[in-house]
Structure 1
């Protein structure tokens, strides 16, 4: 009998890529009073116009009394960022999911409320989940782009305190796994924040897939070494979500969102080659990275090509003095791909590596397989042995993130 012929075969899922929509008071409750009028806060206002073309999201807030749909907007310094249906789409049919502003009352409560999130996880056969931010964006770009970095650092620390103490606090029962941010503009401050959070049990930190798109140094430079050393020493996994470079893949300024949505893996592809050819995995042998929402079907060819380039072209390719082993070997030891719907990748698992694949559900985004992540997993993993399914769905995440044998976060150490 196939390992997946029964409907109960899929183990409880540990999703390494879900999302939280921050409650409106996260920063208002934690920042010094002098920053409350400039720090992140929420107002309700009409939408004047909105577009999402060429990978660029451009909303314009109307003035009080203007016509237009009302939404809840995050304000921070000069930033005006609305909550949209794309931030939290679960519970709506695909045809109802449009680019529109919404209020907290118009989203599924599990997006921002811990008990409701656990209930939605139960519906979806999910035991535990790692959650990326919404307002800070996927790796804290919002605070990096701000003018006042003193305030930005306080905002990063406030978010991390909320993440550890409340979102992943006692009410979460160990089922929500903390993912923290760093001040991307200063690698020494970033290292200190990694160590501060590692001391309380955090084992994952968000980072940009392509830092130069944010005006930051690349991973080929030495600028990030203090941050990388802190991750290496503490066993903190560097987690990179598609779009964490603030630039979704696209082909032209007028390309519809469907183009970018089809090729979202491209940023992960470019990023992974950067890391494999950077020499960082040999300098920091305990370093681990994972790519959230990048899928996995593209990985085998890139590894094949990277090995050929390393073998045949390293003399003039600029990597002979720092990459001393085939990139595919470095991938096996250091890189994890994450997927929620990739039948092709699962059919080519031998070329990727069973230990290098993690499962996700992407709740509450429009791509999410909620509430049918179990059914999707059973359909796509039906050809795999039960022990392989166990590793993909939960075992690899337990090992990578230092969870308890039961797949839970052990809380502050």
Structure 2
């Protein structure tokens, strides 16, 4: 481990091994071209040059990408040099796609372990060719487990991807396949074509996740068909600051729907994560969940065995980057569940990343917190949600 981990700071004094529950990768440029079967080679996504001189992903290998590498690969750049696009693949830090080098960048950041979310691969959710979509997801899943996570499974948890938009039967089969290979968590779409409150559609997937102890993770509203009312349109690489801000609240709807379908009563061990949404908004949300369950439950057809707040920090979790407001709320002690609800992250290598200063930011965030609350938010929650070994 890097020298930074040995420095005397509040985390060291508390015996905390800092865990980032939301890092990212950018897939190796030849991942799909090299691994697609021969009859699908011409449909394999590949990195090609765009009109701006940068490089980015093309789903069909022919159409130049609308936006090349940029915001998703800013680690190592000065903030004044941040750009939405225009980078070439060789300008990305090798920690974007190499597990051993990712660990080195974690060491520079003073981070012991990390969960890695996918980069381009969720684009397969909207690919109309189901064979291509399933093949691409399976290729990614094999790579993230067999090569990236394999660099050190104790410190890396690579998210595999559930092919929900291909079909639930295919998702369950893939969940069982990757669980045998060592998967501990799976990515699911933030904007599914069928909402998660559907009474039956996702039931086999939730049952399999509960059985296999696979945590299900959404990242904001990414993945799945786009909301046409949104300012941003990720499928065509349209991004705005307003869209970035509003996505911090994107898990309120799916989390609320999931609670009131009774899924966590049926599957009490099921864990779900909303990544990069922070937690400062949560006290009012949880207050509202319980309030309306108390006053409205006489007419609602689903009867929960527990108050909605009982599922917070037990079944439902978020990750935060530098949510000082949320951690101040933890410090008040008014919402005891809040320190169990959220997990720290560095968001490496995206434009919102605090790398390589995660340790410094985390130390500042836990000022005034009880030691047990600091340990939950920075370490313990991630251990129980993602199965890390300390």
Structure with the higher strand share, 1 or 2 = 1
Place the TM-score, normalised by the shorter chain, in its bin: 0.7 to 0.9
Cα distance per residue 1:18-61 (max 9 Å; x no partner): 000000121122211121111112222x32xxxxxxxxxxxxxx
Q: How many residues align?
A: 370
What's the CA shift string for 1:275-314, capped at 9, x where partnerless? 1112111122211111110100111110101111111012
Identify if the C-alpha distance between structure 1 residues 398 and 192 changes in structure 2 by more than 3 Å, giving closer, same or farther: same
State the distance in 1 between where 2:156 and 2:229 align.
33
Shift in Å, 1:6 = 4.7
Deviates more, 1:256-265 or 1:118-127: 256-265
**1:88: Cα distance to partner?**
0.4
TM-score by length of 2: 0.88
Q: Which residue does the alignment assign to 2:108? A: 123
- Tell me how far apart the structure 1 counterparts of residues 327 and 56 of structure 2 sit (CA, whole Å): 40
Which of 107, 113, 134 pairs up with 2:92?
107
Distance 1:368 1:253, change over 3 A: closer
Within-5 A mapping of 1:7-406: 8-9=12-13, 11-44=16-49, 46-47=50-51, 69-77=52-60, 80-81=64-65, 82-136=67-121, 140=122, 142-169=123-150, 171-172=151-152, 174-185=154-165, 186-211=167-192, 215-245=193-223, 247=226, 257-316=240-299, 318=300, 320-349=301-330, 350=333, 351=335, 352-404=337-389, 406=390
Q: Distance in 1 between matches of 2:63 and 2:130?
A: 15
1:7 and 1:232 map into 2 onto residues whose CA distance is 33
Structure 1: segments with no counterpart, 5+ residues: 48-68, 407-413
**1:263, CA displacement in angstroms?**
2.3
1:196 CA drift (Å): 1.0
Structure 1 or 2: more helix by fraction: 2
Q: 1:400 to 1:28 in 2, by over 3 A?
A: same
CA spacing shift, 1:345–1:248, aligned 2, 3 Å? farther
> Per the alignment, in what secondary structure is the counterpart of residue 366 of structure 1?
coil
Quote how far apart the aligned CAs of 1:197 are: 1.1
Counterpart secondary structure, 1:42: strand
TM-score between the two structures when normalised by the length of structure 1? 0.83
- Tell whether the 8 Å contact from 2:344 to 2:377 is kept in structure 1 after alignment: yes
Moved more, 22-31 or 71-80: 71-80
Larger CA deviation: 331-340 vs 16-25: 331-340
Q: After the TM superposition, which of the residue ranges 300-309 and 91-100 deviates more from structure 2?
A: 91-100
CA-based RMSD of the aligned residues comes to 2.4
Cα distance change, pair 25–148 in 1 and its aligned pair in 2 (3 A): same
CA contact (8 A) 1:292 1:337 kept: yes
Query: SS in structure 2 opposite 1:37?
Result: helix
Matches of 2:232 and 2:148, distance apart in 1: 38
Gaps of 5+ in 2: 1-7
Which of 1 and 2 has higher RCO (CA within 8 Å, sep 6+)?
1
Q: Per the alignment, do residues 250 and 302 of structure 1 end up closer, same or farther by CA in structure 2, a change over 3 Å counting?
A: farther
What is the CA-CA distance between 1:79 and the residue it aligns to? 6.4
The 8 Å contact of residues 207 and 244 in structure 1, kept in 2 or not, is answered as no
Shift of 1:8: 4.0
Alignment-derived partner of residue 411 in structure 1: none
